[in-house]
Amino acid sequence: MKRTIVITGGCGFIGTNISLEAKKRGYNVVVFDSLIRPHTEENAKILKNSGIEIIRGDIRSKEDLARLPKELNGIIHLAANPGIPWSIKWPDFDFETNAQGTINILEHAKKNLTPFIYASTNKIYSEEINLIPVREESTRYSWDFKKINKKRVRKALLEGITEKGINENFPMDSSGNFPHSPYGVSKATGDLYCQEYFHIYGLPTVVNRMSCVYGLYQKGVEDQGWLDWFVRAKINDQPLNIYGDGKQVRDCVFGSDIAELYLLELENINKVQGKVFNIGGGINHTLSLVETIDYLNNKGGKKLKLNHKSWRVADQKIYISDISKVKKNLGWEPKIRVFEGIDKIWNQYKKIS
């Protein structure tokens, strides 16, 4: 008998990657999506053509969620408002979607203790990350651990970061001293509720605190999906806004690697239930904005036009995930290197341009 899973927000690019991989592995995949975000209709067609059922609905609506199958082998919860600027402009919508929406789908999972994988975010960590001293180099920032002022940086923070990156012990709460962004707060709420449903109700949950994910089927916008956004700007000769100096560093992980991880977690739920993982490319898959721009400009044609803007609230100069915990528990680590992944996106757009 086929295993049936529901993927909320499954017409987004991460959901599309997971859905297609799950279908390939023999799962019966049901996608639940509002289809309100740009380009999700295009991904919906791809999924339908692959024989994947799509239920159009809003994660905020319990009536819509009641249309989901009753007997499930897993729920992958991706549905969210994913952008910081939108969360600042419409905090009520952001919270209703990311926090209340997560409770709604958790309640659905609780009925039969359906394994539940939650896509959290690195934005649950505050701007306190910027207390770690950085060294400015020609194209990027690097952490400078030798210059840490231990009187200024609290012990809990130091336990959450090593030269491998930021681990799951990094404090979510900065005691009111540093901002998160409304988006970070709403996602942190969902993150904590998933943990509570495991401890209180015995619901087998896994929380993935995601760094920069990019890949095929993505249509990035300025506030979310920056690598895809940069590639399209280069191909279409569109100007780019750069917030800060462009030397910010992120670890990046390709969509196909994420698909492999989420299904691996479902298939090993007894081993990883109740766990929280920081997920990204890790220390070996990092990139700055400047380095990305240089790489794209070297592909020829007109150079990218850049408009430099002020730093954004709660932006982190460096965010690199320490993925040691998930590697230890599941043996997972990214396979696609960053420039290899950018080339895959580039070639995808070149075929249709």
pLDDT at 286 over 90: yes
Question: Is residue 93 one of the residues assigned to a domain?
Answer: no
Q: What is the CATH number of the domain that holds 155?
A: 3.40.50.720
Domain count within the chain:
1
pLDDT of residue 314: 66
Q: Is residue 3 part of a domain?
A: no
The letter for the amino acid at 173 is D
Range of the domain at 249: 126-161+214-253+281-353
In a domain, 205, yes or no: no
The model's pLDDT over 164-176, given as tens digits with 9 standing for 90+, comes to: 999 999 999 877 7
Q: How far apart are CA 115 and CA 210, in angstroms?
A: 19
Hey, what amino acid is at 116?
Answer: F
> Any idea which residue has 């958790």 for tokens?
106
Is 176 a domain residue?
no
In a domain, 298, yes or no: yes
Q: Which residues neighbour 187 within 8 Å (Cβ) at sequence distance 6 or greater? A: 80, 98, 120, 121, 123, 124
Task: Point out the least confidently predicted range of 198-207, 233-242, 261-270.
Answer: 233-242
In a domain, 206, yes or no: no
Residue 136 β-bridge partners: 141
pLDDT class of 307 with cuts at 50, 70, 90: very high
pLDDT at 353 over 70: no
pTM: 0.95
Is 6 a member of any domain?
A: no
Residue 198 domain flag: no
Residue 77, both tokens: 């919860």
In angstroms, the CA 112 to CA 70 distance is 8
